[in-house]
Amino acid sequence: MTAMKIEQAWNNALAGVALWARTNSPWVLHFNTGSCNGCDIELLAALTPRYDAERLGVKLQASPRQADILICTGPVTRQARDRLLRIYEQMPEPRFVIALGSCALSCGVFHDCYNVVGPLDRFIPVDVYVPGCPPRPEAIIYGVIELLKKLHPVDVILEGGSA
């Protein structure tokens, strides 16, 4: 009985550490599923000195196998769909997805193009939607923070956060 209690406490502590690590340094993978580059440059701008998402621990990671969050921009094109699924499956659990920009949300201005097969959430589950054409870097950072808040049982992620 005592051994089980100790084991449970140990597991709880481990889960706490994992959550702490995950919410303090989310690594982000960016995949362009057919975007016009507008969202992509705003995503990069969010990581550069004016907005500097890296101060929150957000790091752009090039390999799906080391990423926690997949940020997708653009409508999903017929050619990019298989790659999208493959990249999503390569990511380790738990994995989260942010749909960035009007096109990833609803295909936007490309809604009736013949090679566009649908918005992102038709193919993979999406956790956070960031609208805009393109969304401002502030909106992108806000989207990431909303995602991190969802993960956290306690509502404090950032000091001074409005949670």
Please state the closest distance from residue 4 (CB atom) to other proteins, in A.
Answer: 44
Instruction: Kindly state the tokens that stand for 15.
Output: 């889960």
Residues in contact with other proteins by CB under 8 A are 31-42, 44-45, 48-50, 62-64, 74-75, 77-83, 86-87, 108-110, 112-116, 133-134, 136
HSE-up (13 A, CA, CB side) for residue 71: 27
- Tell me how far, at minimum, the Cβ of 6 lies from other proteins, in Å: 44
Structure tokens at 113: 């193009």
Residue 26 or 75 with smaller CB distance to other proteins: 75
Q: Measured from the CB of residue 39, what is the shortest distance to other proteins in angstroms?
A: 7
Nearer to other proteins, 23 or 35 (CB): 35
Nearer to other proteins, 84 or 147 (CB): 84
| Cβ–Cβ < 8 Å for 74, 109 | no
Shortest Å distance, C-beta 134 to other proteins: 5
List C-alpha distances in Å: 137 to 9, 68, 146, 152: 40, 20, 14, 23
Q: Which of 55, 3, 51 is nearest to 25 (CA)?
A: 55
Angle 149-154-158 from CA coordinates, rounded to 5°: 55
* Closer of 143 and 149 to other proteins (Cβ): 143
